[in-house]
Structure 1
Amino acid sequence: MYDLDTRKQALALVAQGFSQNSVSKQTGISRAAIRSWLQRIEPLGHDRGADCPRCSSTPKLPDDPGAYSYLLGLYLGDGCISSGKRGVYSLRIACADAWPGLIDACVDAVQRARPANKVCRVQRQGCQYVTSSSKHWPCFLPQHGPGRKHNRTITLEPWQQQIVDAHPWEFIRGLIHSDGCRVINWTTRLIRGERKRYEYPRYFFTNKSDDIRKLFGDTLTAVGVEWTHCTRAGKEYNISVARRASVALMDAHVGPKY
């Protein structure tokens, strides 16, 4: 794979009148690659080798930090990165067919993170995988590693924490959209001697990773949302938001999946 600047340099030499063979000798780029670029209508379009803000000589934040914060939440919940040929990595985020708006939001966030890369939807039974290939996904999502997330340490890099601190609701929304839900619970109360059914909304977030649950809980606390841990078989597994004021705050910034 060749980066954007290398492609531009090669095509500029051809435009100046140099032969493809001559440009190949000058730049070390194969003639087949130069020929394929010249034959494309948009030879510098979707490029998996496009500049990366994280691994450049002066690392900087992604161009759209808010979209990145949302994407980070989605990835920590339902995403994975796999390595392929020639050092190219594939990002894949599973999205249930029941939430078409969520799928569109996921596609948009991935595209904003890597504008030069194609984003595809791969249909599977009951879900779509939002996928995109790039050499730089591990730069954007350094939590990538061997094995399942709940079996290894998950921490944010300082630059990621900076983004989450600036865009906490996008991060919370991404986590809820991946591993969370808004439900209606019910209970009964004795009112003036009569037992009546009482319904109330509640948010849940479920993840096996202690580290990811902590990231979610810490971010909730930072925005003033009260939450509690719920256990399963004696182990912490769910995070619950049930207090009326906190649910109202979540409704205002997150809301149910759609």
Structure 2
Amino acid sequence: MTRTFEEKKRVLELWSEGYNKLQIANMMEIPRTTVRDCITQYSNVAQLEQLALEDKLFSPKTRIYEAFDEELQRTYAYLLGLYLGDGCLSPTRSTYKIRITLDTRYPNIIAACVQAIQTILPYNQVTPFKRKCNCVDVTCYSNEWPELFPQHGEGMKYLRKIQLEQWQQEIVDQYPLEFFKGLYHSDGTRSQNIVKGKDYRRYTFTNMSEDIRQMFIRACELLGLHWTTKTSKRDIM
């Protein structure tokens, strides 16, 4: 079976991170001989990509999001919301790591986050890491992350401009419910609102970034949801 560019690239990424051939084969569910041949033939990611650029091995690389079908677009809209709410990217020695921090009280949201990442990058390992402060960091390593989330950068999101690329905006506008869920699952809360003895549910979204709050408002409007802000202007209900 011919392996794709991304599969070969992932083998070499794991090899550079210190995993042995058997571990890589088990993680990617491919034969150990395939892993061995890939490492022997290409040595490292840089050489693999150089061959691709020289058209000796592959046609020009398609950007990962250009190949998204409907399911992947829906999943990406949700994952984008999670990332903008409580996610960050950080470079490592040879790749990038995404970390999305979630509350341990909501295991279904943690599971949905893991599943979303696994759907977007099916050959990459996704690891939930329990922290001491009732939080879980869902992490995954890939060179694709900067392309998938071009909003990454140094410093807190609320201290810099956060703007969606055109292709991201098109996905978000097509699947506003999934984007809304991602934002709400990361930075949303639910509380009681008693009016004339009746209990009404109040849903609040809190984020320090004005740009991200405006994205949430846009999603609400696309879904026909009424919204208002608190005095602090950081909370949208």
Q: TM range, normalised to the smaller chain?
A: 0.7 to 0.9
List structure 1 runs of 4+ shifted beyond 3 angstroms.
Answer: 3-8, 36-41
Cross-structure match for 1:124? 131
Q: Which has the higher helix share?
A: 2
Q: Aligned pair in 2 of structure 1 residues 198, 151: CA closer, same or farther (>3 Å)?
A: same
Q: Contact conserved, 1:61 with 1:159, CA < 8 A, in 2?
A: no
* Corresponding residue for residue 85 of structure 2: 77
Q: Deviations over 1:197-250 (max 9, x none)?
A: 232111100000000000000111111111111122xxx11101xxxxxxxxxx
8 Å Cα contact 2:76/2:120 also seen in 1: yes
How far apart, CA to CA, are the structure 2 residues paired with 1:38 and 1:107? 24
Give the structure 1 partner of residue 202 of structure 2.
Answer: 202
1:237 corresponds to: 234
Matching of residue 97 in structure 1 with residue 104 in structure 2: yes
Letter in 1 for 2:181: R
Residues 1:166 and 2:174 aligned together: yes
Q: 1:198 to 1:157 in 2, by over 3 A?
A: same
Structure 2 residue matching 1:231: 3-state secondary structure: coil
Q: What count of residue pairs does the alignment treat as equivalent?
A: 197
| Aligned 8 A contact 2:75 2:120 in 1 | yes
SS, match of residue 137 in structure 2: strand
CA distance in 1, matches of 2:22, 2:102: 37
TM-score, structure 1 as length reference: 0.69
Whose strand proportion is higher, 1 or 2?
1
Task: Give the Cα separation in 2 of the matches to 1:6 and 1:101.
Answer: 29
Partner amino acid, structure 1, of 2:82: L
Q: Any unmatched runs of 5+ in structure 1?
A: 9-28, 190-196, 241-258
Question: d(CA) in 1 for partners of 2:6 and 2:183?
Answer: 38
Question: C-alpha separation between the residues in 1 aligned to 2:24 and 2:141?
Answer: 20
C-alpha displacement of 1:37: 4.8
| Aligned partner of residue 106 in structure 1, secondary structure | helix
1:96–1:128 Cα contact (<8 Å) kept: yes
Alpha-carbon displacement from aligned partner over 1:139-192 (angstroms, at most 9, x marks no partner): 0011111100000011111111111111110000011100002221124x4xxx
Q: Secondary structure at the match of 2:234?
A: strand
Note the residue ranges of structure 2 that are not aligned, 5 or more in a row: 36-44, 50-59
- Give the superposed CA RMSD: 2.9
* TM-score, structure 2 as length reference: 0.74
Matched, 1:109 2:116: yes
Deviations 1:33-53 (A, max 9, x none): 8xx6589643468xxx799xx
- Which residue of structure 2 lines up, in the alignment, with residue 138 of structure 1? 146
